[in-house]
Structure 1
Amino acid sequence: MPLEALKNAKKVIGVKQVTKAVSKGIADRVFVAVDADRRVIQPLVELCGRKAVAVQEVATMTELGQACLIEVGAAAAATVKPE
């Protein structure tokens, strides 16, 4: 899924919200910024591995934030499954 798909998709933004979505089984794909603090991102990436959720890396937090249509950087975002 290209990063641009985040603009129109139903999504959650931020490590805490993405972690909740993955735990609940509603995350479809997770995007993580490569330049984010590894201590923050690593537990989320490991959870995605346990829950079989695809993880896509994005070069920068700024790029991920822009793809989510927010004015700040984002360490993580996820598209969520339709209800």
Structure 2
Amino acid sequence: MPLSELAVPNRVVGVRSVRKKLDAGKLTRLFLARDAHHSLVSDLASDAQKAGISVEWIESMAVLGRACAISRGAAAAGILVLQERESPEVRRYL
């Protein structure tokens, strides 16, 4: 089930937050609610597809919000690119 992917700390929720991360190239996967207003999510979907990011359509904003552990609906959510950890040699000199 794709919604289980949102049960991670490296997620972003909300149209504006998702837009910022998408523009910065920091998303690996995008989740959009089917019942969200078309003007909110259509540009996100097309830009994500152009960038080669997979887009999952979720049945409703309520379901997407619950999957993101928030108390209201969400039109968009995304999984962030994991940052590689610094090597022990780098940490030693910090």
Answer whether TM exceeds 0.5 for this pair. yes
SS for the counterpart of 1:20 is helix
Q: Find the counterpart in structure 1 of residue 25 from structure 2.
A: 25
One-letter amino acid of the structure 1 residue matched with residue 5 of structure 2: A
One-letter amino acid of the structure 2 residue matched with residue 64 of structure 1: L
Asked if the contact 1:22/1:53 (under 8 Å) is kept, the reply is no
Q: Residues 38-82 of structure 1: CA distance to partner in whole angstroms, max 9, x if unpaired?
A: 111101111112211110000000000000000000000000011
User: After the TM superposition, which segments of 4 or more aligned residues of structure 1 sit over 2 Å from their partners?
Assistant: none
Asked if the contact 1:35/1:60 (under 8 Å) is kept, the reply is yes
Query: Offset of 1:8 from its aligned partner?
Result: 2.1
- Normalising by structure 1, report the TM-score: 0.94
CA distance in 1 between partners of 2:59 and 2:9 (Å) = 20
Q: Find the counterpart in structure 2 of residue 60 from structure 1.
A: 60
Query: Offset of 1:2 from its aligned partner?
Result: 1.4
Which deviates further from its counterpart, 1-10 or 12-21? 1-10
Q: Find the counterpart in structure 1 of residue 88 from structure 2.
A: none
Q: Find the counterpart in structure 2 of residue 82 from structure 1.
A: 82
What is the aligned-residue RMSD (CA, Å)?
1.1
Counting aligned pairs with the same residue, the percent is 34
Give unpaired runs (5+ residues) of structure 2.
84-94
- Normalising by structure 2, report the TM-score: 0.83
Give unpaired runs (5+ residues) of structure 1.
none
SS for the counterpart of 1:72 is coil
One-letter amino acid of the structure 2 residue matched with residue 42 of structure 1: S
